């Protein structure tokens, strides 16, 4: 588990991370979302032990990470612009990491290189941006570390590769104690892979939620009531996050379990009532609007 408590980091006069409190549970895929400059990379660099927080502490499995090689042995950090040794080939990089990560799986790496159609002896500086990202992920996965920090790693991948990487992550999650932390400015990329998402804005965490919990606890309902009096009474019983009305059709976002909401609405024998699926984006729009932010401005 990674715990960040009141973590703050300044770069000169710029406040990059401001009093962040985050808990990342082991075995979950954590998505770190925010606009450019929100502090995602800084947070990941601190969590990887590259940067030292000005104040607060980051504990990985209850141990401080900065200048702690035994903890860092459980972390593989893929930066947004991963550095490869000059003139190195994928094999050279594997050898390089093998020296640092005792559990680096060289056989699997060679095998996965073939699957990704990356030539093991081709110089990395001739690779495309996407190929470099793929290689980074392969190196990270084959390092067999408990934590894998991916900073904007998915941005350079094409949709097919993204799916492949997601499936690799899923496989890893099943097979071993694996906790990927993925930072991105694109909510849609993380929707179908993350278990938990934290939104960073202006250096601080706006919110951190479990995706399933959020999906189960918030719903979009379209309904038409027989008269306005019933409509008013029924909506009054619901924990409405957002409400719109077009003609007699109510489009409402409501907190609560699906059953609880439907039961309440059915009490008033509505003309029409239907629960529609909410996208992660819609959930966040709703949640952040509640706390006074326009999410569209934060993550697009």
Partner 1 sequence: MISRNLFIKLIKQDIKKRIWCPILIFVMCFLALEVRMLMELEEIVRYPHLYSYGIIVYIREYFFGQNAVNMSIIACIAAFLCGLSGYAYLHSKVQLDLYHSLPVSRSQFFWARYLSGILQFSVPFVLNVAVCIGIAASRKAVTAEMIPAVLSFIGIQTIIFVLVYSVTVIATGLTGNLIVSILGTGVLFVYSTGLELLTFWMSEHFFDTYVYNYKYEGNFVCGSSIWFFSPLSMITKFFSRPVIMTMSDAKKLFKYNTSYIGVLIVAAVLYSLAAYIIFMKRASESAGKPIAFRIAEPVIKTMVVIPLAFFSGFFFCMISYNTSSEEWFLFGVIFGFIVICILMEIIYRMSLRGAMMHKKQFLFNAACTALIFVIFRYDVTGYDTYVPADAQIQSCAVSISELMPLSQNIQVSEFSTHRLGATEYRMANMELKGNPSVMTLARKAAKEQLKYHYFDYYEGIENSSEYIEITERQKQYHWIEYGFKLSNGKTIYRKYMIDVADADTIDLLSDIFNDYDYKIGSTPVFNDGWNIDFDFVRCESNFKIADIALTPQIQSKLIETYQKEYTKLTLDMVMHTVPTGTIDFVINSENNEDLYTSYSGEMLVYPQFSETIALIKDYGFDMLEHPTAEDVELVRVRSINDDPYAYGHFNHSPYRGAYSGINNTYDIQEDKTVEYEYTDKEQIQQILDSVVSGGFSWNIRQYADLFDDRYIVDIQLEKRDRNNSSSYQQFIKGKLPAFIQ
The helix or strand, by DSSP H or E, that contains position 177, with its residue range, turns out to be none
Among 76-84, 170-178, 180-188, 203-211, the segment contacting partner 1 (CB under 8 A): 76-84
E strands along 138-190, which residues?
A: 147-151, 179-184
277 makes contact with partner 1 (CB under 8 A): no
Beta-strand runs (E) in the chain: 2-11, 14-24, 30-33, 55-60, 63-64, 75-78, 147-151, 179-184, 196-201, 204-210, 218-224, 239-246, 249-255, 272-276
Among 72-80, 173-181, 186-194, 292-300, which window interacts with partner 1 (CB under 8 A)?
72-80
Q: If binding is defined by CB under 8 A, does position 86 make contact with partner 1?
A: yes
Residue from 3, 8, 35, 79 touching partner 1 (CB under 8 A): that is 79
Minimum Å gap between C-beta 99 and partner 1 is: 4
Measured distance CA(296)–CA(187) in Å, rounded? 10
Question: How many Å apart are CA 221 and CA 249, to the nearest integer?
Answer: 10
Applying the rule CB under 8 A, the residues between 15 and 54 that interact with partner 1 are 45, 48-52
Binding-site size, partner 1 (CB under 8 A): 28
Shortest Å distance, C-beta 47 to partner 1: 10
| Candidate list 36, 62, 102, 175; residue touching partner 1; CB under 8 A | 102
Q: Tokens standing for 38?
A: 């929100």
Query: Cα(243)–Cα(40) distance, rounded to whole angstroms?
Result: 32
Q: Is 100 in the site for partner 1 (CB under 8 A)?
A: yes
CB 176 within 8 A of CB 207: no
Per CB under 8 A, residues contacting partner 1 are 11-12, 45, 48-52, 67, 69-73, 75-77, 79, 81-83, 85-86, 96, 99-102
């Amino acid at each position: 588990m990674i715990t960040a408590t009141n973590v703050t980091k300044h770069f000169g006069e710029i406040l990059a991370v401001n009093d962040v409190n985050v808990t990342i549970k082991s075995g979950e895929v954590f998505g770190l979302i925010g606009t450019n400059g929100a502090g995602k990379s800084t947070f990941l660099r601190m969590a990887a032990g590259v940067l030292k927080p000005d104040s607060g502490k980051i504990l990985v499995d209850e141990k401080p990470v900065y200048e702690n090689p035994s903890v860092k042995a459980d972390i593989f950090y893929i930066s947004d612009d991963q550095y490869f040794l000059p003139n190195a080939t994928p094999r050279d990089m594997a050898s390089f990491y093998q020296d640092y990560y005792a559990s680096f799986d060289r056989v699997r790496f060679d095998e996965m290189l073939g699957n990704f159609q990356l030539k093991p002896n081709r110089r990395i500086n001739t690779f495309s941006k996407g190929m470099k990202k793929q290689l980074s992920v392969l190196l990270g996965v084959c390092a067999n570390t408990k934590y894998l920090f991916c900073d904007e790693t998915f941005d350079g991948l094409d949709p097919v590769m993204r799916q492949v990487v997601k499936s690799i992550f899923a496989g890893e999650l099943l097979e071993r104690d694996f906790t990927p932390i993925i930072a991105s400015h694109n909510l849609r990329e993380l929707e179908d892979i993350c278990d938990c998402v934290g939104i960073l804005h202006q250096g601080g965490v706006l919110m951190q939620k479990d995706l399933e919990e959020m999906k189960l606890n918030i719903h979009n309902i379209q309904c038409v009531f027989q008269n306005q009096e019933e409509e008013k009474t029924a909506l009054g019983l619901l924990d409405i996050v957002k409400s719109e009305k077009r003609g007699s059709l109510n489009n409402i976002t409501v907190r609560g379990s699906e059953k609880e909401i439907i039961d309440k609405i059915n009490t008033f024998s509505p003309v029409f009532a239907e629960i529609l699926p909410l996208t992660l984006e819609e959930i966040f729009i709703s949640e952040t609007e509640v706390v006074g932010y326009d999410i569209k401005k934060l993550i697009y």
